[in-house]
Structure 1
Amino acid sequence: MLVLVTGATGKVGRVLLDQLLADPRWPDLRIRALCHNRTLSARDRLESVRGSIADREAVEQAMAGVTHVIHMATVKEDPLSAMDVSVKGMFWMLESYRQSPTARQFMLIGGDCVVGHIINSYDSPITENSPRKPYPGVYALSKVLEEVMLEQYYVQYGINGCCLRAPWIMEKDDFRHVLDFDQQFGGPDWDQLLTSAQRTEYATTSKVPILLDSTGATLKRNFIHVTDLVNAMLAALDNPASRQNLFNIAMNQPVDYGAVAEHLKQTRNLTSVTIETPFHSNWLDNAKARQLLGWHPRYDMARLVDDAFNY
């Protein structure tokens, strides 16, 4: 079993490599990591090759003898390279895969940007059958194109593949800094919601934000801890139930910013501040993954918060 991994040097990739190599189900599993800008340290059963997935020759060399592909390489809001990586790169990988005599499974790691996460609204939980409604920007567009391209290879060539669609991925103290008014991780952009004076005040007094959605209710947003995502990937790997399927990989319930503030008040005596936003509360339904893959996330809101603040 030879697994080609793209994006192996990232947040998810590092955890995935450790788990794959330690999993007793595949003692002879080997990994080939296709790396572009960064490299990996040498390890038993791990081979690193250099190249861009936008380069057809590099992809074909990396695919030689591969049985499984786990494709995570991506580009954020960079119009100069996003299409090269997400469209051209995905095309070369799928073309090489479908013609390979050894290929058995192609796994794509997608994102909830394709359904607009908190930017676009839904009147019911978001399932795998919900319409794609990406928010504006090249990154969300590129992830939609990846999903559609993979689905068309099912239709046109009958390949065995699956897509795991994940929301915002957390590890270490990420979630603590999501709430930070000073050294914030990710979004929302406080400068779009607050004055500079408000942001300074909330930062110096260690306030916890209670974000409100467009209806005035506390915002509910989807997250996933990196270990839960990797466990879902391992559950889908070489699993016949994953064939040509799309799975939402999220916590059992979205994180409620009001519940987070109340938890931190009770456990750490932190006070909160209410912030109005134009965002929408959405629920990424993970029932399909739980049913077909036997996967269950280990992180709920309390554990996500406590681990981040204890890190």
Structure 2
Amino acid sequence: MKILVTGAAGKVGQHLLPALTTAMIPAGGRIVALCHNRTMSETDHLSVVRGSIADPEAVAAAMDGVTHVLHLAAVKESPTLAIDVSIKGMFVLLEAFRANPAARRFVLLGGDCSVGHIFQAYDAPITEVAPRRAYPGCYALTKVIEEVMLEQYGHQYGIDGCILRSPWIMEKDDLRYAMSFGEDQFGGPDWADLMTPDRLAAARTGQHVPLLRDVTGAPLRRNFIHVDDVVAALVTALDHPDAARETFNIAMTEPVDYGRLAVLVNERTGAPPVDIETPFHSNWLDCTKAAHLLGWRPRVDLETLVDRAWSYRRAAGEARTTWYPG
């Protein structure tokens, strides 16, 4: 087995490579990382090809003898890069993969943005047969296009493609800072879009914890997943016979309820909750299919996620990294 990993130097990739080394290398496997903006050191089991995912020559060099692809590379809201990286890059990868006689499976790490997570209303848990209804922005659009391209290459050329559809991926203290009212807030939503300046200033002064409410007024429920569970799903799907040409939702067993989250944070820190009305819809990504066909189940629940986020202490000089673009 020879595995090509794109996005190997990113958030998921940095956790994935050690797991692949443990799972695949004892059986004689090798890993190739295609790196562009960031790079890493080669080892006995890891080789690095430098170049853009949109460069056919670089991709062909990286694809040589590859049996499996784990495609993690993406750009967020970067219109100037979206076409080259997410669309042309996906096309170049798939063309090289189908021309490779050793090719066996192509695994795409997709996103819940393709079904419009919390932007679109669903009256039941969201399964893999739900229509693609991306939320606004070029990132969500490109994730839809990537999924469709992989499916069509399966129809047109018989490629074995597998899609793992993930929500917001958490590591280290991400959740803690996603809940921050300070300038150090990580991710979204931007509180200034949902609160008046006076309320936001008061929340910052009082060290409050946000309690987001959905369009019905109930505590918002949205899906998250810990990076360890994403890595486990990727390793499982890599060569599982029942993953062939299938799409799987992967997320925490239940969506995070912001009411319950506010209680847990309050118990840990004493921070009082502040209600925030939002235009969002509560959604539930149904992961039954992954459990049934792959035997994959997430290990990190809400309590564990909170405990890890609030217990994590960054080492001196360990900056918070925004992994996009590249």
* TM-score, normalisation: structure 1: 0.97
Select between 200-209 and 173-182 the one with higher mean Cα deviation.
200-209
Letter in 1 for 2:126: I
Paired with 2:57 and 2:92, the residues of 1 have a C-alpha distance of 9
Aligned residue for 1:181?
181
Q: CA deviation at 1:98?
A: 1.0
CA shift for structure 1 position 266? 2.8
Listed as ranges, the matches of 1:91-102 within 5 Å are: 91-102=91-102
Rounded Cα–Cα distance in structure 1 between residues aligned with 2:132 and 2:5: 26
Q: Deviations over 1:251-275 (max 9, x none)?
A: 1100000001112223333211111
In 2, distance between residues paired with 1:107 and 1:168? 18
Q: Which residue of 1 aligns with 2:22?
A: 22
CA-to-aligned-CA distance 1:73-125 (integer Å, 9 cap, x gap): 11111111101111111111111111211111100000011011111111111
Q: Distance in 1 between matches of 2:229 and 2:294?
A: 13
Whole-angstrom distance in 2 between the partners of 1:279 and 1:228: 26
Find the residue that maps to 2:225 and give its secondary structure: strand
Aligned counterparts of 1:25 and 1:127: Cα–Cα separation in 2? 34
User: Tell me, what secondary structure is at the counterpart of 1:228?
Assistant: helix
2:297 match? 296
Separation in 2, partners of 1:46, 1:201 = 51
Structure 2 vs 1, CA of residues 26 and 280 (structure 1 numbering), >3 Å: closer, same or farther? farther
SS of equivalent to 2:80: coil
Q: Is residue 175 of structure 2 the alignment partner of residue 190 of structure 1?
A: no
1:203 to 2:229 alignment: no
Q: Higher mean Cα deviation, 174-183 or 263-272? A: 263-272
Matches within 5 A, 1:4-83: 4-23=4-23, 26-83=26-83
Quote the Cα distance in structure 2 between the aligned partners of 1:259 and 1:89.
41
Instruction: String of CA shifts for 1:130-168, please: whole Å, max 9, x gaps.
Output: 011101111111000000000001111111110100000
Q: CA separation in 2, counterparts of 1:14 and 1:267?
A: 30
Offset at residue 24 of structure 1 (A)? 6.2
Point out the more displaced range, 261-270 or 142-151: 261-270
Cα distance in 2 between the residues matched to 1:38 and 1:88? 20
Question: Paired residue for 1:309?
Answer: 310
Aligned equivalent of 2:261: 260
For residue 306 of structure 1, report the CA deviation from its aligned partner.
1.1
Separation (CA, whole Å) in 1 of partners of 2:197 and 2:40: 41
Cα distance in 2, alignment partners of residues 209 and 44 from structure 1: 47
130-139 or 19-28, which deviates more: 19-28
Cα pair 2:125 2:286 within 8 Å, conserved: yes
One-letter identity of the residue aligned with 1:155: H
State whether structure 2 residue 146 is matched by structure 1 residue 134: no
Question: CA RMSD for the aligned pairs?
Answer: 1.2
* CA distance in 1 between partners of 2:266 and 2:254 (Å): 21
Distance apart, 1:57 and its partner CA: 1.3
Q: Are the equivalent residues in 1 in contact too, given 2:49–2:61 (CA < 8 A)?
A: no
3-state SS, counterpart of residue 164 of structure 1: strand
Question: 2:248 maps to what in 1?
Answer: 247
TM-score normalised to the size of structure 2?
Answer: 0.93
The answer to whether the 8 A contact 1:119-1:279 is kept is yes
Identical counterparts, % of pairs:
59
Q: Aligned partners of 1:43, 1:296: CA distance in 2, in Å?
A: 31
Amino acid at match of 2:156: Q
The CA deviation at 1:25 is 7.3
More displaced stretch, 199-208 vs 2-11: 199-208
> 3-state DSSP class of the match of 2:239?
coil
How many pairs align?
A: 311
CA distance in 2, matches of 1:25, 1:215: 50
**2:92 alignment partner AA:** W
Q: Residue deviations 1:204-252, cap 9 Å, x none? A: 2211111000111100000000000000111111111100000001011
C-alpha distance in structure 1 between counterparts of 2:264 and 2:90, whole Å: 42
Cα contact 1:21–1:27 (8 A) shared by 2: no
Distance in 2 (CA, whole Å) between partners of 1:207 and 1:295 is 36
Is there any run of 5+ residues in structure 2 with no aligned partner, and where? 313-326
| Structure 1 contact 154–244 (Cα < 8 Å) conserved | yes
Which stretches in structure 1 are left out of the alignment for 5+ residues? none
Q: What residue is the counterpart of 2:116 in the other structure?
A: 116
